[in-house]
Amino acid sequence: KAGVTQTPRYLIKTRGQQVTLSCSPISGHRSVSWYQQTPGQGLQFLFEYFSETQRNKGNFPGRFSGRQFSNSRSEMNVSTLELGDSALYLCASSLSLNYGYTFGSGTRLTVV
Amino acid sequence: GESVGLHLPTLSVQEGDNSIINCAYSNSASDYFIWYKQESGKGPQFIIDIRSNMDKRQGQRVTVLLNKTVKHLSLQIAATQPGDSAVYFCAEKTGTGNQFYFGTGTSLTVIP
């Protein structure tokens, strides 16, 4: 059974640009969540989707957005990139609500 | 906001010894807790979970203890092996949805 797949694995962008990250959850998993991981802040919740609906959103500026498609695949977008957006972005999927996650390996974003 | 903290940022143990990693959480309404292991370059990996209606749960070589009175969670690893070297995170969830709050992590080093 394939795990959670995130693409790309590594990305380098320039300040001011925008970026789109992709996540394919485990087959059958309908809940997808995104986290930002940095050495200083640890794992910070970005948003959670279930059946194409955003159920929860973390305390991030509006430059961070996401969506989920009918096949449960999800994308997150960051516009007007700042140096502080450099981080590991992790996607996690779950069979349903109130279950633990399976994480992907993440996308390492570097903003220069 | 939520606060999930760890007592020790680093822990070194001899191979074969037992390890105990501790975690304090702040929200008494949290009802679901998970321990994750993260190795370098990988996403967090689910180890074991426990719901608030339990105070102990055992897995293969791992045991999670939950003390709701003092809002404390611990992970015990029996016969620690070099492959257990990683950063360990506790995560808590409150209510519906799948938004978890993660602790800052404890780095476990197993000395051969």
Structure confidence at residue A1 as a pLDDT band (50, 70, 90): low
Nearest CA in chain B to A34: B99
Q: Do B34 and A31 touch (CB under 8 A)?
A: no
Nearest CA in chain B to A108: B41
Strands (E) across B1-112 are located at 4-5, 10-14, 19-25, 32-38, 45-51, 56-58, 62-67, 72-77, 86-93, 100-102, 106-111
* Mean pLDDT rounded to a whole number for chain A: 94
What mean pLDDT do residues A6-18 have? 98
Assign 3-class secondary structure to A5-56. EEECCEEEECCCCCEEEEEECCCCCCEEEEEEEECCCEEEEEEEEECCEEEE
Q: Do A90 and B97 touch (CB under 8 A)?
A: no
Per-residue tens of pLDDT for chain B, all 112 residues: 344 543 448 999 999 999 999 999 989 999 999 999 999 989 999 999 999 999 999 999 999 999 999 999 999 999 999 999 999 999 999 877 778 899 889 999 999 9
Q: Between B49, B98, B104, which is nearest A33 by CB?
A: B98
Listed in sequence order, the residues at least 6 apart from A105 whose beta carbon sits closer than 8 Å to its beta carbon are A6, A9, B41, B42, B43
Rounded Cα gap, residues A57 and A92, in angstroms:
15
Listed in sequence order, the residues at least 6 apart from B69 whose beta carbon sits closer than 8 Å to its beta carbon are none
Which tens digit of pLDDT belongs to each residue from A19-59?
999 999 999 999 999 999 988 788 999 999 999 999 989 99
Residue A110 has pLDDT above 60, yes or no: yes
Q: Choose from A6, A24, A37, A43 for mutation: most chain B CBs within 10 A.
A: A43
- Which segment of A80-84, A97-101, B25-29, B65-69 scores lowest on mean pLDDT? A97-101
What mean pLDDT do residues A93-103 have? 85
Q: Do A43 and B89 touch (CB under 8 A)?
A: yes
